[in-house]
C-alpha cells in the first residue's frame, strides 16, 4: 500500500495515496466544516462536487515545495507527500466565513419557522463559524413553494449542494432532478419545472433525507392528526412500521439503535389514539399472501409453465412500485400482487376491524407512522380507495411523530413500556425485519420453507440474506431438487439492473427483494436525519435483528392472530376474499410519446 506523510495543523499524519485532505484531517480528529460534501459510507451514497467552498484550507507547502496560491477545497484535494496544510489560519477562517455569508445573503432569514430548524446543517455552520451579520445585500431568489403528496420543495432555501440531484440520479437512477440554468438563476429542478407528480419522481424521499437545509422537507400532517384525534366522532387507529421503533429514540437523545417499541406504544396511547396497532401484524399477513403467491408461481414454473412470471419481486416498497410503474411498466407482472403491509393493514381495519367495533368506515381514521415519504403518496392512490375513502387516510413520518410527541409535552424517555392493542398488534420476528434490506426475503423464506417441506426450519436465521451491500444473492436449499435462487437489492439503480436482466431474459433468480432506501426502511426518507453518519444507519440495522431475536414467535405463519383472521374472515391465503382486500394491480404510468 502506497502511503503519504503530510502535516496538518502542525501534526504529522500518514495516509493512503489518493486520500483527500478532509479524510486525512479526520484521521487526526480535525473536523473540517463541510456543506455540499456528503457520504454515507458503505451505503452507496456519495456527493463530492467540491462546489460550496466551505471546506477550504491553506496549502502552506504543495508538491513543488511552495505554497499554493489559492485556498484548496479539502473534500476534493488529494494529499501529496510532505504537504503542509493549515485548516485554521486567519486566511482560512475569514474565507470560510465570507463564503458562508455569501451563501446566507441569498437564503431566507426564517429559521424560527423553518421545518428544518434544529437539524439544519446551514444553521449549524452559521453557529459554528460565528456568523453575526450578513454584510452582503443582493438579489434574492423567489421561487414558489411546491407541495406534492409527499415532498415540499422550497427552492428559495436551496444552497446548490446538489446532494438531492446526486441521490436522485446516481443512487436511485430516477432522474427526476437536475441542475438547470446558469449563474444566479441556477437551481435544482425537474424537467421544464414541471410538478413532481408529473416528473419521474418516485417519492422515495432520499432527496429530503440528504438535503442539508429546509429546501426539501416532508408534507407535514401533524396538525391534521391533532384535529382528528380531538374529534369525538372519529375512531382513530394508528399502525407503526417496523423501522420506526429502532430510530425514534434518536429524536429524544437516545443512542442510535435503541429499540423503543414499548415507549412508542405508550406515547401513541397518551396522544389519544383509540387503537394502537402494529404494521408488523400486516407484515406477517403480507408474508402469508406473498409467500403463497411465490409458492404458487414456483410450482407452476418448476412444472414447466413458461407463462408464469419468475422471478417474483417484492412489492412492499412504495417508491419501488412507483419506479417500475413509471420506468418499466412492461414488467409490472413480475412484482407480487400483494399490497404493501401499510395498505393491507388499512384494508383490514376498515373492513374486518370496523365491523368488529361496530363502526362505519367513514367514521374511522386510519393513520400510519412510517419511516417513509412514499407511503404518503401510496395512501393517495385511487386503487386503495373505496367510494373515495382511503384504506389508510394518511401517513406521518418518524420525524413527524417525534414532533407530535414534543408538541404534546410527553416525556418520552421516562415512559413506561406499553404493549400494542389486540388483535392487530400481535406480530413475529419475521415482521420486524421488514424494516431492513433482506428482511422481507428472509421472512418469506422462513414461511415458504416450512409450508413447502412441512418440516420445522433447522435454523431460523438466514444470515446469507443479511448485509448492507447494495446487491446480494443467496441460494437457499429447501429440499432435494429445490434450491431457491434469491437476490436482495436496495437502491433503485440496483433494482434497474435486476429489471434489465429480466428484460434480457437472463435473470437467474426465483425471487428478488427490492427496497429503495440505503439499507432498507431503516434509512427511509422519513427517518430522523443522520447527516451522513453511516454508523447511525448500521446501529438501526443491528437493532432490527435484535428486535427479531427478542420476539417469542419468529415466523409469520405461527402468528396466532394471523391464523385467527384466516379462520374467521379471510379463509386462506390468496383466497377470493384475500384477493379482494389484500392484492392490487399495477399500472402503466410511463410517459408516452404519441404522434398527432
Partner 1 sequence: MSEVKIKIRKEVQDKIAAICKHFRNDAGELINVLHQTQDYLGFLPVEAQEVIAQELHIPTAKVYGVVSFYSFFSMTPKGKYAISVCMGTACYVRGAEKVLDAFQRELGIKVGETDKDGLFSLNSLRCVGACGLAPVALVGDKVYGRLTADQVKNIVQEYRDKE
Work out the burial of residue 479: count CB atoms within 10 Å of its CB; fewer than 13 is exposed, 13-18 middle, 19 or more buried.
exposed
Measured distance CA(453)–CA(499) in Å, rounded = 30
Among 84, 102, 180, 418, binds partner 1 (CB under 8 A): 180
- Find the shortest distance in angstroms from Cβ 199 to partner 1: 7
- Per CB under 8 A, does 506 bind partner 1? no
By CB under 8 A, tell whether 437 contacts partner 1: no
Asked if 199 is part of the footprint of partner 1 (rule: CB under 8 A), the reply reads yes
Query: By CB under 8 A, is residue 499 in contact with partner 1?
Result: no
Among 14, 82, 110, 198, binds partner 1 (CB under 8 A): 198
179 binding partner 1? (CB under 8 A): yes
Burial class (CB in 10 A: 0-12, 13-18, 19+), 321: buried
Residue with the three cell numbers 427479531: 548
**In the complex, least distance from residue 162 CB atom to partner 1, rounded to whole angstroms:** 11
Distance CA 22, CA 561 (A): 53
Binding mask 556-595 toward partner 1 (x if CB under 8 A, else -) reads -------------------------------xxxxxxxxx
Which one of 85-93, 170-178, 254-262, 533-541 is the stretch in contact with partner 1 (CB under 8 A)? 170-178
Contact status: 504 vs partner 1 (CB under 8 A): no
Q: For residues 384 and 378, what is the distance between their CA atoms, to the nearest angstrom?
A: 8
Q: State which residue, 181 or 414, has the beta carbon closest to partner 1.
A: 181
Q: Is 178 near partner 1 (CB under 8 A)?
A: yes
Smallest separation, CB 191 to partner 1 (Å): 4
Part in contact with partner 1 (CB under 8 A); list of ranges 152-160, 184-192, 221-229, 386-394: 184-192
Contact flag: residue 97 with partner 1 (CB under 8 A): no
Omega into 423 within 30° of 0, i.e. cis? Answer: yes
Question: Any contact of residue 175 with partner 1 (CB under 8 A)?
Answer: yes
Per DSSP, the three-state class of 78 is strand
- How big is the site for partner 1, counted in residues (CB under 8 A)? 30
CB–CB of 248/268 below 8 Å?
A: no
User: Going along 453-560, which residue ranges are E strands?
Assistant: 471-479, 482-490, 511-515
Between 143 and 587, whose beta carbon lies closer to partner 1? 587
Under the binding rule (CB under 8 A), the answer on residue 181 touching partner 1 is yes
Residue 338 gets which letter from DSSP?
B
189 binds partner 1 (CB under 8 A): yes
State the minimum distance, in angstroms, from the CB of residue 181 to partner 1. Answer: 5
CA distances (Å), 14 to each of 33, 104, 351, 499, in order? Answer: 21, 36, 65, 44
CA 15 from centre of chain: 34
The one among 69, 132, 137, 182 contacting partner 1 by CB under 8 A: 182
Site track 381-410 with partner 1 (rule: CB under 8 A), x = hit: xx----------------------------
Q: What 8-state DSSP symbol labels residue 349?
A: I
Q: Which is nearer to partner 1, 179 or 419 (CB)?
A: 179
Q: Could you list the active site residues?
A: 290, 293, 316, 336, 375, 378, 383, 521
For 545-551, the CB contacts below 8 A with 24+ separation are 545/433, 545/436, 545/466, 546/259, 547/242, 547/245, 547/246, 547/259, 547/261, 547/429, 547/432, 548/429, 548/430, 548/432, 548/433, 549/429, 550/259, 550/429, 551/427, 551/428, 551/429, 551/432
Which of 139, 144, 192, 358 binds partner 1 (CB under 8 A)? It is 192
User: What are the residues binding partner 1 (CB under 8 A)?
Assistant: 169, 174-182, 189-192, 197-200, 381-382, 587-596
Amino acid at each position: 500500500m502506497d502511503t503519504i506523510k503530510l502535516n496538518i495543523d502542525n501534526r504529522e499524519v500518514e495516509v493512503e495515496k489518493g486520500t483527500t485532505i478532509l479524510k486525512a484531517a479526520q484521521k487526526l480528529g480535525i473536523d473540517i466544516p463541510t456543506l455540499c460534501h456528503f457520504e454515507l459510507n458503505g451505503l452507496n451514497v456519495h456527493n463530492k462536487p467540491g462546489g460550496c467552498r466551505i471546506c477550504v484550507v491553506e496549502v502552506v507547502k504543495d508538491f513543488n515545495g511552495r505554497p499554493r496560491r489559492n485556498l484548496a477545497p479539502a473534500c476534493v484535494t488529494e494529499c501529496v507527500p510532505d504537504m503542509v496544510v493549515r485548516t485554521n489560519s486567519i486566511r482560512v477562517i475569514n474565507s470560510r466565513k465570507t463564503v458562508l455569508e455569501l451563501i446566507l445573503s441569498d437564503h431566507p432569514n426564517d429559521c424560527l419557522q423553518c421545518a428544518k430548524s434544529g437539524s439544519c446543517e446551514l444553521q449549524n455552520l452559521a453557529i459554528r463559524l460565528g456568523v453575526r451579520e450578513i454584510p452582503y445585500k443582493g438579489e434574492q431568489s423567489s421561487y414558489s413553494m411546491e407541495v406534492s403528496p409527499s415532498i415540499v420543495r422550497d427552492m428559495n432555501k436551496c444552497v446548490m449542494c446538489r446532494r438531492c440531484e446526486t441521490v436522485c440520479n446516481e443512487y436511485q437512477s430516477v432522474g427526476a432532478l437536475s441542475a438547470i440554468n446558469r449563474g444566479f438563476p441556477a437551481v435544482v429542478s425537474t424537467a421544464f419545472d414541471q410538478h413532481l407528480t408529473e416528473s419521474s419522481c418516485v417519492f422515495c424521499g432520499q432527496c429530503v433525507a440528504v438535503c442539508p437545509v429546509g429546501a426539501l422537507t416532508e408534507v407535514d400532517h401533524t396538525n391534521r392528526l391533532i384535529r382528528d384525534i380531538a374529534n369525538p366522532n372519529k375512531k382513530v387507529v394508528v399502525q407503526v412500521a417496523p423501522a420506526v421503533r429502532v430510530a425514534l429514540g434518536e429524536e429524544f437523545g437516545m443512542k442510535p439503535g435503541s429499540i423503543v417499541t414499548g415507549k412508542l406504544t405508550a406515547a401513541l396511547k397518551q396522544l389519544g389514539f383509540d387503537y394502537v396497532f402494529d404494521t408488523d401484524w400486516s407484515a406477517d399477513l403480507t408474508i402469508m399472501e406473498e409467500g403463497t403467491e411465490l409458492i404458487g408461481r414456483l410450482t407452476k414454473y418448476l412444472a414447466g409453465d413458461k407463462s408464469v412470471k419468475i422471478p417474483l419481486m417484492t412489492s412492499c416498497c412504495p417508491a419501488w412500485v412507483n419506479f417500475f410503474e413509471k420506468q418499466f411498466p412492461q414488467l409490472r407482472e413480475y412484482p407480487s400482487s400483494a399490497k404493501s403491509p401499510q395498505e393491507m393493514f388499512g384494508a383490514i381495519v376498515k373492513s374486518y376491524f370496523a365491523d368488529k367495533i361496530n363502526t362505519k368506515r367513514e367514521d374511522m381514521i386510519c393513520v400510519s407512522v412510517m419511516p417513509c415519504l412514499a407511503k404518503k403518496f401510496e395512501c393517495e392512490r385511487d386503487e386503495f380507495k373505496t367510494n373515495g375513502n382511503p384504506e389508510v387516510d394518511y401517513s406521518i413520518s418518524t420525524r413527524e411523530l417525534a414532533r407530535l410527541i414534543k408538541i404534546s409535552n410527553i416525556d418520552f424517555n421516562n415512559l413506561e413500556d406499553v404493549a400494542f392493542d389486540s388483535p392487530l398488534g400481535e406480530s413475529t420476528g419475521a415482521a420486524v425485519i421488514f424494516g431492513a434490506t433482506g428482511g422481507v426475503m428472509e421472512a418469506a423464506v422462513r414461511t415458504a420453507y416450512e409450508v413447502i417441506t412441512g418440516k420445522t426450519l433447522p435454523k431460523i436465521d438466514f444470515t446469507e440474506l443479511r448485509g448492507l451491500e447494495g446487491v446480494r444473492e443467496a441460494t437457499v436449499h429447501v429440499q432435494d431438487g429445490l434450491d431457491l435462487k434469491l437476490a436482495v437489492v436496495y437502491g433503485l439503480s440496483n433494482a434497474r439492473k435486476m429489471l434489465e436482466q429480466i428484460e434480457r431474459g437472463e435473470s437467474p433468480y426465483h425471487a428478488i427483494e427490492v427496497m429503495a432506501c440505503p439499507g432498507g426502511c431503516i434509512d427511509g426518507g422519513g427517518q430522523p436525519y443522520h447527516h451522513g453518519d453511516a454508523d447511525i444507519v448500521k446501529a438501526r440495522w443491528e437493532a432490527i435483528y435484535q428486535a427479531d431475536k427478542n420476539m417469542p414467535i419468529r415466523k409469520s405463519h405461527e402468528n396466532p392472530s394471523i391464523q385467527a383472521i384466516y379462520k374467521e374472515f379471510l379463509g386462506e391465503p390468496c383466497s377470493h376474499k384475500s384477493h379482494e382486500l389484500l392484492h392490487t394491480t399495477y399500472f402503466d404510468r410511463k410517459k408516452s410519446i404519441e404522434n398527432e
